[in-house]
Amino acid sequence: MHIVVCVKQTPAATQVPVDAATGKLKTEGLPYGLNPWDEYAIEEAIRIKEKLAGSTVTVLSLGPARAEEAIRAAIALGCDEGAHLVDPSFDGTDNMGSSYLLSLGIRKLNAAKPVGLVLCGKQSNDNESGSVAPALGAWLDWPSVAYVRKFASIDEKLAKIERAAEDGTDSLEVDLPAVVSVIKEINEPRLPSLKGKMNSKKAPVAKWGAAELQAEAAKVSAGGRLEIVGQTPPPPRGGGIVVPGATAQEKAAFVANKLKELKFI
Amino acid sequence: MDYGFTEQQQEIVNLARAIAQKKIRPVREHYDQTEEFPWPIVEELRKVGLFGVYLPEEVDGLGGGNLELVLAAEELSKACGGIALCVATSSLCALPILLYGSPELRKKYLPDLATGKKLGAFNITEPGAGSDATATKATAVLQGDHYVVNGIKNFCSTGKDADTYVIFATTNPNRGARGISAFVVEKGTPGFTFGKKEEKMGIRANGTYELVFQNCKIPKENLIYKEGYGLFIAQLTFDYSRPGVAAQAIGIAQGALDETMSYIRQRKQFGQSISSFQAIQHMMADCATQIEAGRALLYATVRAMDASNGPAIRKAMEENKVVADCMNELDTKRWTKESGMVKVFCSDTAMRVATDCVQMCGGIGYMRDFPVEKYMRDAKITQIYEGTNQIQRNEIAMMMIKEAASKSKKDLVAA
Ligand SMILES: Cc1cc2nc3c(=O)[nH]c(=O)nc-3n(C[C@H](O)[C@H](O)[C@H](O)COP(=O)(O)OP(=O)(O)OC[C@H]3O[C@@H](n4cnc5c(N)ncnc54)[C@H](O)[C@@H]3O)c2cc1C
């Protein structure tokens, strides 16, 4: 089976400052890495590849030049090759535009070697919209399932999967090809092997711009249809309380008072 | 400090560090207490490929040299010198096969050691032959197409948990040191069993066993090189492997100091953190200085060794020859003195640093539920195995005297 994993390179930081003047995230100079959720998609792709003989995994990423690092990081884990969608006109596109471009990339890959499954992380750790994978399914007109926590079985034609729902689990059968986004419960991502790391430096990564993808400019225009009104960092978490007191009794009394104050007791 | 590693060497450091800190650190106390063998960690090390970093690609290694091995050993030992030992003993088993083994022996045993599919062990010690390996009593008698081995070897690291063993036995008791030979033995060979498991002070995650041979038949082809070459094989192996012990020592020292630094900055006495006392500051400065000096000597030495050994190893792979023969052809330098110096300096440093770390932490440093005392227990072995530091000093001095003698001879000729 030809599996495509979509990955995004995102800031590898939990605190990203907001530029007061522009209201945008200040991402310059931040360390970047694989979007953590994508690591689960990569791991699942490699596990399916290991199960279904003759499978290959292609890593697909949309992003600036540095996004190639994320593609090579995925190859180091066991993917075979990469495709990088990169073009100045792609910068700043919204989720609709991103999913459109990724769908064009997948069509191109599919034309070369039919794709059986597209895997994505459930969301990215920067925008956290969770909309790219479902939109990708819509653009491709393939079935798509989000929040998947298990592949019960898979062959060339059909996948039996479990989707996490608020009130339990949905067991689904999905005709392939399909787009599936996965959650953390699905597996435990491996570390890259040294040989994988060294091979990843030499693996082929195709570069496709607007011309190669025959992308319609209107669908990817910067900013797209999304208007960002403002951005603020989440409020910092309050620190804990150090329980004062010289003896166990004093400490216990302090805790009891505090609990009463908070109306827990 | 930036030691100018290649991309591959930096990847090894990063990966070994990730495993050490994420996987080994949380479980090291468990293995220290229970003395179980850390199989789940072995599996992690296998998966990322850390067992064969120093072996040629021809035998499924990563194609690096001693520096690659040393970097992996140091990073793993920062978290636990005992768990890290399985990588070192596998290399101690692979090295005699790499350096003196025939191309066939290399092909048969090295790939599984390189991938970690099998673990290796090395046993030269006997109850009556510790520092003095010439006193080896175990015997190997050639009978047709196999050797019959009898005797007891002891203090074998990774003892029961390895699959492939390099052991030493005498094939000619009349010839003493020149009668000792080296063999590869597989676990499960009839007549090869395990005796006593030692109860130890440190490196408790790695079992130390007695190996018992009772009419154990080993195929003739498993003799490494030729009869009577055992002690040459052991010496060349130790020249290569002692920096690995030094790396374990430096890792232990650094790990102890890192734990100590995070404690002494937050521990308050007399209204201030104990790291603000000059007496403590001088101790930490000395520890860090000695570690860095050891590390610099270690890296410089293995780099020089790799540059010197590399061509012979390459030639042997390309021309299907024995590495030691190629070393003779190319007149490759012997590293006995320098590798002894590295081992002595780094292991003495580790013992001193780990002891000082316990001192800096005070009473808590002595307690089992705080990580520092374990580093002190683990550090001690690095001064003992692969030749005690007294034996290292003997060898260093002997080489110095030889060098001085040959220099004065040359001067005499020149004059
Ligand atoms: C935990 C552990 C793991 C080990 N793992 C292995 C292993 O995997 N494989 C293996 O083959 N061996 C292994 N050994 C054995 C180890 O290499 C020996 O213990 C070591 O070489 C010292 O030998 P010995 O214990 O017989 O001490 P001895 O030789 O009895 O030495 C006792 C003391 O006398 C000193 N001494 C001896 N001779 C001289 C001399 N000529 N000049 C000055 N001082 C001298 C020594 O330095 C030491 O201080 C291990 C040992 C331990 C403790």
Structure ipTM: 0.73
Does the pLDDT value for residue A102 go beyond 60? yes
pLDDT at res. B51: 97
B200 lines ligand 1 (CB under 6 A): yes
In-domain check, residue A239 = no
In-domain check, residue A265 = no
A197 chain-B contacts, CB cut-off 8 A: 11, 15
pLDDT at res. B272: 95
Average pLDDT, chain A: 91
A190 chain-B contacts, CB cut-off 8 A: 47
In-domain check, residue A236 = no
User: pLDDT class for A222, splitting at 50, 70, 90?
Assistant: low
A22 contacts chain B (CB < 8 A): no
In-domain check, residue A173 = yes
Interval B316-340 mean pLDDT: 97
Number of domains in chain A: 1
Name the residue in chain B with its Cα closest to that of A196: B48
Does the pLDDT value for residue A11 go beyond 80? yes
- Residues in chain A, overall count: 265
CB B15 to CB A191 under 8 A? Answer: yes
CA-based nearest distance B48→chain A, Å? 4
| CATH code where residue A57 lies | 3.40.50.620
Name the residue in chain A with its Cα closest to that of B60: A195
Does the pLDDT value for residue B53 go beyond 70? yes
Model confidence pLDDT, tens digit, residues A36-88: 999 999 999 999 999 999 999 999 999 999 999 999 999 999 999 999 999 99
CB B62 to CB A198 under 8 A? Answer: yes
- Ligand 1 centre from B407 Cα, in Å? 33
In-domain check, residue A20 = yes
Q: Which long-range contacts (CB under 8 A, 24 or more apart) does B367-374 make?
A: B370/B263, B371/B28, B371/B29, B371/B259, B372/B256, B372/B259, B372/B260, B372/B263, B374/B28, B374/B29, B374/B32, B374/B202
CB A193 to CB B19 under 8 A? Answer: no
Which domains does chain B show, CATH number per domain? 7-119 (1.10.540.10), 122-222 (2.40.110.10), 231-414 (1.20.140.10)
pLDDT at res. B181: 98
| Bridge partners (DSSP) listed for residue A57 | A3
B156 lines ligand 1 (CB under 6 A): yes
A192 contacts chain B (CB < 8 A): yes
End-to-end CA distance of chain A: 59
In-domain check, residue A60 = yes
pLDDT at res. A237: 78
Q: Give residue A105's domain range.
A: 2-220
A107 contacts chain B (CB < 8 A): no
- Tokens at residue B331, please? 């007149």
Q: What is the DSSP letter of B355?
A: H
A108 contacts chain B (CB < 8 A): no
CB B11 to CB A191 under 8 A? Answer: no
B100 lines ligand 1 (CB under 6 A): no
Model confidence pLDDT, tens digit, residues B13-27: 999 999 999 999 999
Does the pLDDT value for residue A99 go beyond 90? yes
CB B7 to CB A201 under 8 A? Answer: yes
Integer Cα distance of A239 and A235 in angstroms: 12
